[in-house]
């Protein structure tokens, strides 16, 4: 089978690999569509593990099922989550599913940017979802990224009536916008250096769009919130500057979501004194669990999240290198999808 092998951002090769063999409690999925995630573009994070096959937002059809598999059969259209928690360890019992040891160990093999992939038993049992008839494979690739944003907003206790500032209008920033609207945010202010992305955010419900090259986010947030700052700030841009801006636009007692990791070795100076008196809560959110993927699927199925509207580019698997280039550099792109047709 063909796979897109990642050596670096600039070097993605179409290679041949033998189709994975499955165990009696596993399935083999024929990939149909798989999204490129912001984390697939974090070269510093991937370089040490390369060469590898990326892709963790896959949807496809079950091509083979092991002899004792229950609940799934050949021909089922499915979304598969690449990481699943054990549901029994200390972290899981405390709801910290993404910190579970098994969560990190579980993977689809070799990855989503491949003609086929193997789904290990835990992934099949805990977080493989059948895709309803009215959802396309492409739309189903949004389940994982929507789940990640959903979890972040839940962790930050988003409430109806909140004012929300989002820094970064890439795919995650725009999904946060759409979800914040669903949760009843009254004011969504989003900033990005790319006007095209701000326009997309507006389509998905942002009330005020700010290009920091033209105006100060801090000034805009201040004037829109009676000088208070936003109740909730989501930093969806991987830079220290974005975090500094984020702290600056968060109101006293507000919540700041750490959604985008910065380069290793980068630090944000925090003053315990200022934190103490401002009571700003800093809340990180990594990945998504089996709980949010189900809700994400419902939101996409009901049309409350316009999954199609988030996608701007589609490439066949054989053009994976071009797809990565587009996700990385095309200023008029949002979600880029790789297809196996």
Binding site for Zn ion (CB under 5 A): 37, 85-86, 89, 92, 100
| Smallest distance, Zn ion to C-beta of residue 88, A | 6
Question: Which CB atom, from 280 or from 315, has the smaller least distance to Zn ion?
Answer: 315
- The nearer residue to Zn ion, 60 or 254, going by C-beta atoms, is 60
Tokens of 41: 């573009």
Helix, strand or coil, per DSSP, at residue 202: helix
Question: 226 and 206 in contact (C-beta within 8 Å)?
Answer: no
Short-list 335, 334, 44, 35, CA closest to 192? 334
Instruction: Pick between residue 86 and residue 283 the one whose CB is nearest to Zn ion.
Output: 86
* Beta carbon nearer to Zn ion, 100 or 135: 100
User: Phi and psi dihedrals of 242, rounded to 5?
Assistant: -65, -40
For the bound state, the minimum distance from the C-beta of residue 340 to Zn ion, rounded and expressed in Å, comes to 19
Give the span between the Cα atoms of 29 and 115, in whole angstroms. 8
Burial 92-102 (b: 16+ CB within 10 A, else e): beeeebbbbeb
Least distance to Zn ion from the beta carbon of 225, Å? 31
Cβ atoms of 305 and 178 closer than 8 Å: yes
Q: b or e along 238-249 (b: 16 or more beta carbons within 10 Å of the residue's beta carbon)? A: beeebbebbbeb
The minimum distance between CB 264 and Zn ion, in angstroms, equals 19
Least distance in angstroms from the C-beta of 120 to Zn ion: 15
Q: How far is the CB of 72 from Zn ion (least distance, A)?
A: 23
> Of 53 and 92, which has the nearer Cβ to Zn ion?
92
Q: How far is CA 267 from CA 243, 263, 286, 318, in A?
A: 10, 9, 18, 39
Residue 67 CB, shortest distance to Zn ion, in Å, is 28
Tokens representing residue 170 in the block = 């890439």
CB of 92 or CB of 198, closer to Zn ion: 92
- DSSP letters of 290-308? HHHHHHHHHHHHTTSS-HH
Closest CB to Zn ion among residues 107, 251? 107
CB contact at 8 A, 297 and 141: no
Separation of alpha carbons 55 and 82, rounded Å: 9
In terms of Cα–Cα distance, which of 40, 42, 43, 45 is closest to 55? 40
């Amino acid at each position: 089978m063909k796979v897109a092998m990642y050596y670096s951002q600039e070097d993605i090769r179409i290679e041949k690999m033998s189709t994975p063999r499955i165990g009696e409690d596993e399935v083999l999925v024929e990939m149909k569509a798989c999204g490129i995630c912001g984390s697939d573009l974090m070269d510093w994070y991937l370089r040490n593990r390369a060469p590898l096959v990326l892709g963790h937002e896959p949807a496809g059809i079950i091509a083979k099922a092991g002899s004792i598999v229950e609940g799934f059969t050949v021909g089922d259209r499915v979304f598969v989550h690449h990481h699943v928690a054990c549901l029994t360890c200390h972290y899981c019992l405390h709801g910290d599913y993404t910190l579970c040891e098994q969560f990190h160990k579980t993977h689809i093999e070799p990855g989503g940017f491949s003609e086929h992939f193997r789904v290990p038993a835990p992934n099949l049992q805990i977080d493989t979802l059948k895709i309803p008839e009215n959802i396309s494979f492409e739309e189903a690739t949004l389940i994982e990224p929507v789940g990640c944003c959903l979890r972040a907003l839940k962790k930050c206790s988003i409430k109806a009536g909140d004012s929300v500032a989002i820094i970064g209008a890439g795919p995650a920033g725009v999904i946060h916008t759409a979800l914040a609207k669903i949760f009843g945010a009254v004011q969504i202010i989003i900033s990005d250096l790319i006007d095209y992305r701000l326009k997309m955010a507006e389509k998905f419900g942002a009330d005020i769009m700010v290009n920091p090259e033209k105006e100060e986010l801090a000034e805009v947030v201040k004037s829109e919130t009676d000088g208070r700052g936003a109740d909730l700030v989501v930093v969806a841009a991987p830079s220290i500057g974005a975090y500094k801006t984020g702290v600056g636009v968060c109101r006293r007692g507000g919540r700041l979501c750490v959604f985008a990791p910065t380069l290793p070795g980068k630090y944000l100076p925090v003053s315990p004194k200022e934190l103490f008196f401002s009571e700003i809560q800093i809340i990180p959110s990594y990945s998504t669990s089996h709980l949010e993927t189900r809700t994400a699927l419902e939101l996409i199925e009901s049309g409350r999240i316009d999954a199609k509207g988030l996608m701007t580019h589609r490439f066949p698997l054989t053009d994976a290198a071009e797809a990565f280039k587009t996700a990385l550099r095309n200023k008029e792109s949002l979600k880029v999808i790789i297809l196996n047709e």
